[in-house]
Amino acid sequence: MRVHRAAILLCASLAGCASHEPIARCEWPPEARAALDLGVRAARRHLHEDALRAEDIGIRYADARNAPHSGHFMGFAAYKRTTDSCVTAMLGAVARTHGVSPDSVRASLARRPVGGDVLVNLSFAALFALIAYGVTGRLNQSFPLDGGRDSVVAVAAIVMTSMLASGVAVLVGEWYAISIEVFRVGNGHLSDRVQRVPWTHHRVEYFLTGVVLFWLVAALRHRIGFGHQAGRATSWAADAARGSRHRRAPVARP
């Protein structure tokens, strides 16, 4: 319950992103009856879109009736009853319109476009890797991993920093994923829909992935830095060798 309230407050803070006003009536808009064959992919997508729309109507209706900002708030339990009642009615309307069972309509809500979630994860991972690249560069300067006695300190610094960076990334990444979901559904208040955002169910996995990604970036940064140092050392040795040959070259006498 505490997590649910936190989600409501977070989504309310993003309400300015929504472009629609709350719906004051729990009514499904007029639509011609058309049976859907759920064996067809396009039909399943259409049912999914209608189910999302039905859920959104229920949430907007409850927001207008007795949400915390409506002026008629009577507690979260009453708000949830209003939401569930209207959503159930709207899902039933969708079921009657398309000749399917209400359970099929409700089940379609859980079907998410995988491509969108993958894009959210990859874009945030790229941002995290870019930040980690800059942070590990500073760590290499302060705690060089050169194989000496200070290497233990350097490794410890990388491990501790990776855990801290990944912990912060989990919090920021969840806000990022929820913000993308707000724009996707077009409503600043996600309500129970926040529970379908994958990030809210895999925080530990995201944390461990962030730690491993930080280590990989640190290893890459160390390898690049080591290569540059080796290149400079080789260049210096070559210059020194050429200078020595010039000094030792015999002078021709007439």
Give residue-wise pLDDT tens across range 26-68.
999 988 899 999 999 999 999 999 999 999 999 999 998 888 8
| pLDDT bucket at 112, cuts 50 / 70 / 90 | confident
Among 56-65, 103-112, 139-148, 194-203, the minimum mean pLDDT is found in 139-148
Query: What does pLDDT average to over the chain?
Result: 82
Q: Which amino acid is at 151?
A: S
Instruction: State the residue for tokens 């529970």.
Output: 195
Task: State how far the Cα of 9 lies from the Cα of 227, in Å rounded to an integer.
Answer: 50
Task: State how far the Cα of 72 lies from the Cα of 128, in Å rounded to an integer.
Answer: 43
Comparing CA positions, the residue from 158, 169, 26, 180 lying closest to residue 92 is: 26
Crossing angle for the helix pair 2-13 and 76-98, nearest 10 degrees?
80
Crossing angle for the helix pair 41-66 and 76-98, nearest 10 degrees?
150
**58 vs 232: which has the higher pLDDT:** 58
Cα R_g (the chain), whole angstroms: 29
| pLDDT bucket at 234, cuts 50 / 70 / 90 | very low
pTM for the whole structure: 0.73
**250 vs 237: which has the higher pLDDT:** 250
Whole-angstrom CA distances from 60 to 70, 83, 89, 97, 204 are 11, 8, 14, 21, 32
Cβ burial of 217 (10 Å; 0-12, 13-18, 19+) is buried
